[in-house]
Amino acid sequence: MSHKPEWDRTHHAKVATGIGDPQCFKGMAGTPKFKEGDRVRIKDLPDLFYTRTMTYTRGATGTIVKLVYESPAAEDEAFGNEDDPEWFYSIVFSQKDLWPEYSDTYSNDTLETEIPERYLEKA
Amino acid sequence: MSSSTRDEVLRHLQTVGQLQPALHYQTHAPAPTEIDHSLFRAYTRTPHDVGGEYDISIPYHEKEEEVWELNTFATCECLAWRGVWTAEERRRKQNVDVGQTVYLGMPYYGRWLMTAARILVDKQYCTLTELHNKIVELRERVAAGKGLGEYLPPKNS
């Protein structure tokens, strides 16, 4: 008798094949908390073990330009946990709000990136 | 134990010694009270590819992908298609789990390739003993002048 634990190693492929990822999580995140045009501040949540929410966006304020998709947050997906998808938002920041030393010459520069809902609070 | 092995081991120990002092003061076995919040956060930071790192400017070099790099990429994508890992699991293993020193010090596709081997061991597709035995087998094959084996080009069907 084998002493190996058994689990379904192809679970994700079964869920996503023919549909795509993150399309396979569509409709699973419930009602989004924010909408296009909302100003939001990025929370400085713990970054222990894994995150993809950039350190340089934490504490900064940006504008939601699009609700992009539903997906498990990176913190869950990175360890194979896919049961709790949430909304991802595309957010635009002014570069000058992110980098204290950013040149006035390029004060119109922006940065757009995707961040899961758990990191957002109304600004 | 052959002397060339000892040479390699001692050279390895010296090289590792050069990698260690990421903080440029004595850091071994600190008392818990010596780790304040800033240091704790710095030690537990997760290396990542999302940008925004403070560094000196690095010259940009255009580099064409090598065959082994393309094969590594294809292997990792196949592991995803077969459900062995998701892209996020792969990123965690190749960016974070390797630690900051390896993240910055190893070539990009070198980390991909190491991680492909790692996931097979972690998820018990092969044992570490089997992997080590394979490495020994290949070392002996190369030492005997037989090369690493046959390279099979991709099929166009």
Summarised one tens digit per residue, pLDDT across range A27-70 is 999 999 999 999 999 998 998 999 999 888 988 999 999 999 99
Any domain includes A2:
no
Do the Cβ atoms of A75 and A46 come closer than 8 Å? no
State how far residue B52 is from chain A, nearest Cα, in angstroms.
6
Looking at residue B2, its pLDDT comes to 59
Any domain includes B14:
no
Q: Which one of B92, B119, B126 makes the best mutation probe of the A interface by having the most chain A beta carbons within 10 Å?
A: B92
- Region A78-105: what's the mean pLDDT? 93
Looking at residue B71, its pLDDT comes to 93
Q: CB–CB of B89 and A78 under 8 A?
A: yes
Q: Is the whole-model pTM more than 0.90?
A: no
Give the residue from A89, A34, A41, A91 showing the smallest Cα distance to A61.
Answer: A41
d(CA B139, CA B132): 11
Any domain includes A11:
no
Q: Which one of B38, B50, B84, B126 makes the best mutation probe of the A interface by having the most chain A beta carbons within 10 Å?
A: B50
Distance, CA of B96 to chain centre: 11
d(CA B113, CA B116): 5
Looking at residue B102, its pLDDT comes to 87
Q: CB–CB of B96 and A11 under 8 A?
A: no
> Phi then psi for B51, rounded to 5 degrees?
85, 180
Please tell me which of the candidates A14, A49, A78 has its beta carbon nearest to residue B91.
A78
Any domain includes B135:
yes
The share of chain A scoring above pLDDT 90, in percent, equals 71
The share of chain B scoring above pLDDT 70, in percent, equals 84
Lowest-confidence range among A100-109, B30-39, B136-145?
B30-39
- Please state the ipTM of this predicted complex: 0.82
Any domain includes B31:
no
Any domain includes B126:
yes
CATH number (domain holding residue A57): 2.30.30.50
Any domain includes A8:
no
Do the Cβ atoms of A72 and A85 come closer than 8 Å? yes
Instruction: Report H helices in chain B.
Output: 3-19, 37-43, 67-81, 87-91, 100-105, 108-122, 128-143
Looking at residue B73, its pLDDT comes to 96
**Selected residues 10-49 of chain A with any CB under 8 Å from a CB in chain B:** 10-14, 21, 47-49
pLDDT over 60 (residue B1): no
Any domain includes B61:
no
A87's tokens: 């909304």
- A112 in contact with chain B, both atoms CB, cutoff 8 A: no
Q: CB–CB of B46 and A78 under 8 A?
A: no
Lowest-confidence range among A30-44, B44-58, B121-135?
B44-58
CATH number (domain holding residue B133): 1.10.472.20
Q: Which of residues A112 and B13 earns the better pLDDT score? A: A112
Looking at residue A103, its pLDDT comes to 94
B45's tokens: 């930071």
d(CA A25, CA A120): 20
- Region B7-21: what's the mean pLDDT? 66
| Count of domains observed in chain A | 1
Any domain includes A16:
no
Count of CB atoms within 10 A of residue B116's CB?
Answer: 20
Any domain includes B77:
yes
Any domain includes B129:
yes
| Count of domains observed in chain B | 1
Any domain includes B85:
yes
Any domain includes A9:
no
Q: CB–CB of B92 and A78 under 8 A?
A: yes
Q: Which of residues A106 and A14 earns the better pLDDT score? A: A106
pLDDT over 60 (residue B99): yes
Looking at residue B81, its pLDDT comes to 85
pLDDT over 70 (residue B54): yes
Any domain includes A57:
yes
Any domain includes A98:
yes
Please tell me which of the candidates A10, A47, A77 has its beta carbon nearest to residue B45.
A47
Domain span at residue A40 reads 25-122
Domain span at residue B105 reads 67-148
For the four alpha carbons of B13, B15, B19 and B24, in that order, the dihedral sign comes to positive
